[in-house]
Amino acid sequence: MTTLLKSATIIDTSSRYHKQTKDILITNGCIAKIGNNIPTKANYEVLALDNLHVSPGWFDTSVSFGEPGYEERETLQHGVQVAAKSGFTHVAVNPNTNPVIDNKSAVEFLINKTNGAATTVLPIGALTQQSKGVEMSEMYDMQQSGAIAFGDYNAPVSNDNLLKIALLYAQNFDGLVLSFPKNNAIAGEGVANEGKNSTLLGLKGVPALAEELQISRDLFLLEYTGGKLHIPTISTAKSVQLIKEAKEKGLDVTCSVAVHNLILTDDELHGFEATKKVTPPLRTEEDKKALIQGVKEGVIDMITSDHNPIDIEHKKVEFSTAKDGTIGLESAFGALNTILDLETIVSCLSTNPRKRFNVELVSIKEGEKASLTIFNPNRSYTFSKQRIISTSKNSIFLGKKLKGKTYGIYNNNQLILNS
């Protein structure tokens, strides 16, 4: 297959064509030529779209699909289509399935079930058996089968010694350990950020301290053991400061932030809409500003949609009893594009996560493998249900003004476009 992208503005700081508008000819999955006015032939698939931009393919490091076990939320087959049309060439899939992805057979199931899809699925294996935080999982076996990291999704490891052993053990095979930043004893039964809004609304609070205590513990353990630690979805100003100090010490730690924690605050909770109930919770304006600054300074390495489809039976209920989670693949770029420049977005959605999770780096150069995200950064719109591709519709961004449309991706020798 030969595909010609016409008049594409390239966003790729590793390419000499960065910020230049060029034609890109792709043959058999590789970039054959980049130039001005490349002639069209009869057998070419030509892509000429309004304000066409391309960047190295985006990689979301925290995506949940339902299958196996919760297919009513999202099947793997449909989930990878959602990811592709949302601009993601790679997704790391969380182990919060039933059964939990905590062994090599489960990892191989995810890979085999999505083999041949345009979006590449990269499993995250559970750090502990059944994600219960009691016994360590078969990390080495899972890595040999294709797992790229190990963590219990939205479930903290409360046993200090277990995390210590995991950090030590993973060094034998250069494994990446994820530790969700939440101290359950402090968080208790909280459902919203502890502060003015939770008090006014009569909602049980989750103190910022619950996150910060856990991060402090994790960093002390990392300093003791060595190894590689990734802290997913931080949400407070103090968390940014703690990780900044750890990096200055030379600790091998990275972190991510969810798109919604960069855009929204707990002021959103006044309508008691369960779509706004997420983990970690929406925090304050001060926290939001610190997170954005953390991204711009490089303290926060990557941004994730933290896409988590929840079926209507568990979401369209009273706020306090609703399951936490929001879908986010479809709205990720449009939301980020309202607060960050394109270079920062591409760095946090492509370059940095690929480096940390040991996924092949790509660049828009002749002779390189074509793994591209295709988008228009200038189209503004209100995000509505009509724009949701996911089976579940629990989007935190419904009704919000977004900017930027993803046209789709070119990856694995396939062009997938968002209609």
Domains of the chain from N-terminus onward:
2-53+367-417 (2.30.40.10), 57-356 (3.20.20.140)
Per-residue pLDDT at 246:
98
Torsion 124-130-133-136 (CA) sign: negative
Residue (of 156, 385, 390, 399) closest to 279 by Cα position: 156
Point out which residues pair with 149 in neighbouring strands: 124
**Catalytic residue from among 152, 266, 301, 306:** 306
- The gap between the terminal CA atoms of the chain, to the nearest Å, is 21
Helical axes 160-170 vs 208-225, angle rounded to 10°? 40
Q: How many helices (H) and strands (E) are present in the chain, helices listed first?
A: 14, 18
Please state, in angstroms and rounded to a whole number, the distance separating the CA atoms of residues 367 and 203. Answer: 56
Backbone angles phi and psi of 165, in degrees to 5: -65, -40
Question: If you search the block for the tokens 């926060």, which residue do you land on?
Answer: 300
Can you read off the two tokens belonging to residue 353? Answer: 């996560």
Q: Where are the alpha helices (DSSP H) in 347-384?
A: 352-356
Per-residue pLDDT at 419:
76
Please state, in angstroms and rounded to a whole number, the distance separating the CA atoms of residues 378 and 388. Answer: 20
Per-residue pLDDT at 319:
95
Extract the residue ranges of the chain whose pLDDT is less than 70. Answer: none
pTM score, two decimals? Answer: 0.97
Angstrom CA distances, 415 to 1, 17, 46, 57, 288, stand at 10, 22, 11, 12, 36
Point out which residues pair with 2 in neighbouring strands: 27
What does the radius of gyration of the chain's CA atoms come to, in whole angstroms?
A: 21
Residue (of 315, 305, 276, 281) closest to 398 by Cα position: 276
Is 324 known to be catalytic? no
Per-residue pLDDT at 59:
98
Collect all residues with Cβ–Cβ distance below 8 Å to 92 and sequence separation of at least 6: 59, 60, 61, 62, 63, 122, 123, 124, 148, 149, 357
Per-residue pLDDT at 277:
98
Please state, in angstroms and rounded to a whole number, the distance separating the CA atoms of residues 263 and 25. Answer: 36
Per-residue pLDDT at 1:
80
Residue (of 401, 398, 366) closest to 385 by Cα position: 398
